[in-house]
């Protein structure tokens, strides 16, 4: 065989030469030896993980909601922020969960997309308010107006639309890994680093990867209130919307697919990496994910939402309507913050003064 042309040293890239004595491939540049089997495994592994990923989702066939045979629903629009909401036909007084405006305009029901399933609210408003209050108590320098309970009680129960992705993948990932060992003798400290090329290959299944279908419900806080527990999911019925709002999706399924692919790939890399804990450092080099017939469903997930306006800035909050997990960015009262730091500075000054006094003695 003409090994010199076929194989390059994986450590330094120099051509390898077949050594008849050891039956190995030898690198004259860095001095390493590799068996032919090892080089073949390496080539196969790299080709496998470096191949093209294939994400093949089934087309989603929408089902329409029928206002005649189901519970009557109506469409509402917020004249202030443009949010489009579906709710029951006689929606009571409700504050817009996205901008705080207090009137919705009722419109003609346009036959909304019928979700494949819904996770009904498990936490009522009272519990959502107290979950939020508990969370906010941990935050420093909140404006006083923030504890206005009436404002917090404006929170609205909103079903947020999600595209849900299920798939069963074949995946191959290549990692570069290092293992360091350290020891010492009476003269020196030694550190030895071994370099590895790791390959992981296998099947991994995903169920209910959520991608937010509403641009109004900010991804930042929607991802922060996850996870939802899907064993509470039930077949959709309009009756679940009574007393609640359902945000209408405005992100098409096609536009959500890239997001789902990214989540599948990242989760695969992470899951396979869990099998490499014996190494001191592991970096992903390449990943290939392949599946066909991935399933897409449309779901409504429950969240309590409200907004808070402070210094012309709108702060949005969400409480998971199933688990009570709170997400959102809190405002900071700069006056309170300044006072607090002034007090600390005052204490430091006093300490310095005492120290100065001790030195003088």
| Structure tokens given for 323 | 């688990």
Among 3, 8, 11, 242, binds Zn ion (CB under 5 A): 11
Question: Judging by DSSP bridges, how do beta strands 156-184 and 189-212 pair with one another?
Answer: antiparallel
State yes or no: residue 3 binds Zn ion (CB under 5 A).
no
Question: H or E stretch including 150?
Answer: helix 149-152
Near Zn ion in 14-43, by CB under 5 A: 14, 27, 29-30
Shortest gap between Cβ of 228 and Zn ion (angstroms)? 24
Shortest gap between Cβ of 104 and Zn ion (angstroms)? 8
Q: How many CB atoms lie within 10 A of CB 155?
A: 21
State yes or no: residue 308 binds Zn ion (CB under 5 A).
no
User: What's the rounded Cα separation, in Å, for the pair 361 and 304?
Assistant: 63
Near Zn ion in 60-79, by CB under 5 A: 78
Residue range at the interface with Zn ion (CB under 5 A); choices 10-18, 38-46, 256-264, 268-276: 10-18
Among 25, 73, 74, 83, binds Zn ion (CB under 5 A): 83
The SS3 assignment for 313 reads strand
Question: H or E stretch including 253?
Answer: helix 253-273
The SS3 assignment for 181 reads strand
Alpha helices in 159-245 (DSSP H): 219-225
User: What's the rounded Cα separation, in Å, for the pair 81 and 276?
Assistant: 49
State yes or no: residue 12 binds Zn ion (CB under 5 A).
yes
Among 38, 67, 77, 101, binds Zn ion (CB under 5 A): 101
Q: CB-based contacts of 33: which residues, under 8 Å, 6+ apart?
A: 19, 22, 24, 25, 26, 27
Shortest gap between Cβ of 16 and Zn ion (angstroms)? 8
| Structure tokens given for 142 | 């909140």
| Structure tokens given for 177 | 């890994």
Nearer to Zn ion, 98 or 121 (CB): 98
Dump the DSSP string for 7-74. Answer: -B-TTT-PBEEEETTTTEEEETTT--EE-HHHHHHHHHHHHHHHS--EEEEPPP---B--TTTS--EE
Nearer to Zn ion, 216 or 265 (CB): 216
Shortest gap between Cβ of 94 and Zn ion (angstroms)? 10
Nearer to Zn ion, 12 or 207 (CB): 12
Among 25, 39, 85, 99, binds Zn ion (CB under 5 A): 99
State yes or no: residue 155 binds Zn ion (CB under 5 A).
no
| Structure tokens given for 357 | 């006094």
Shortest gap between Cβ of 32 and Zn ion (angstroms)? 5
Nearer to Zn ion, 29 or 280 (CB): 29
User: What's the rounded Cα separation, in Å, for the pair 91 and 85?
Assistant: 11
| Structure tokens given for 294 | 């991935």
Shortest gap between Cβ of 15 and Zn ion (angstroms)? 9
Among 7, 55, 65, 98, binds Zn ion (CB under 5 A): 98
Distance of CA 324 to the CA centre of its chain: 18
Shortest gap between Cβ of 270 and Zn ion (angstroms)? 32
State yes or no: residue 81 binds Zn ion (CB under 5 A).
yes
State yes or no: residue 350 binds Zn ion (CB under 5 A).
no
Q: Are 49 and 287 spatial neighbours (Cβ–Cβ below 8 Å)?
A: yes
State yes or no: residue 9 binds Zn ion (CB under 5 A).
yes
The DSSP call for residue 28 is T
Shortest gap between Cβ of 314 and Zn ion (angstroms)? 10
State yes or no: residue 156 binds Zn ion (CB under 5 A).
no
Q: How many residues bind Zn ion (CB under 5 A)?
A: 15
| Structure tokens given for 153 | 């009680």
State yes or no: residue 314 binds Zn ion (CB under 5 A).
no
Residue range at the interface with Zn ion (CB under 5 A); choices 94-102, 120-128, 266-274, 291-299: 94-102
Which residue ranges make up the site for Zn ion (CB under 5 A)? Answer: 9, 11-12, 14, 27, 29-30, 78, 80-81, 83, 96, 98-99, 101
């Amino acid at each position: 065989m003409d090994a010199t042309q076929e194989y390059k040293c994986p450590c330094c890239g120099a051509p390898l030469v077949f050594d008849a004595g050891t039956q190995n491939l030898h690198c004259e540049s860095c001095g390493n030896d590799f068996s032919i089997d090892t080089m073949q495994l390496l080539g196969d592994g790299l080709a496998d993980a470096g191949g093209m990923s294939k994400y093949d989702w089934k087309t989603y066939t929408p089902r329409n909601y029928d206002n005649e045979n189901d519970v009557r629903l109506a469409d509402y629009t917020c004249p202030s922020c443009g949010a489009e909401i579906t709710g029951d036909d006689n929606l009571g007084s409700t504050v817009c969960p996205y901008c705080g405006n207090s009137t919705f305009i009722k419109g003609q029901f346009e036959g909304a997309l019928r979700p494949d399933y819904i996770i009904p609210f498990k936490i009522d408003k009272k519990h959502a308010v107290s979950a939020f209050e508990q969370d906010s108590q941990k935050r420093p320098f909140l404006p006083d107006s923030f504890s206005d309970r009436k404002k917090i009680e404006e929170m609205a129960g909103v079903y947020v639309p999600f595209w849900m992705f299920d798939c069963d993948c074949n995946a191959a990932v290549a990692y570069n890994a290092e293992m360091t060992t350290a020891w010492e003798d009476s003269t020196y400290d030694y550190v030895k680093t071994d370099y590895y090329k790791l390959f992981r290959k296998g099947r991994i299944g995903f169920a209910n990867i959520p991608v937010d279908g509403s641009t109004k419900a900010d991804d930042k806080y929607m991802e922060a209130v996850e996870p939802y527990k899907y064993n509470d999911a039930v077949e959709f019925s309009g009756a679940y919307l009574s007393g609640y709002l359902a945000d209408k999706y405005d992100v098409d399924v096609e536009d959500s697919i890239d997001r789902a692919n990214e989540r599948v790939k990242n989760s695969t890399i992470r899951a396979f990496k869990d099998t490499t804990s014996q190494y001191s450092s592991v970096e992903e080099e390449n990943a290939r994910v392949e599946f066909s017939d991935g399933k897409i469903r449309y779901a409504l997930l429950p969240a309590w939402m409200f907004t808070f306006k402070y210094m012309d800035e709108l702060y949005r909050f969400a409480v998971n309507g199933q688990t009570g997990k709170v997400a959102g960015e809190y405002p900071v009262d700069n006056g309170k913050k300044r006072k607090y730091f002034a007090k600390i500075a005052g204490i430091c000054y006093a300490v310095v003064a005492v120290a100065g006094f001790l030195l003088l003695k």
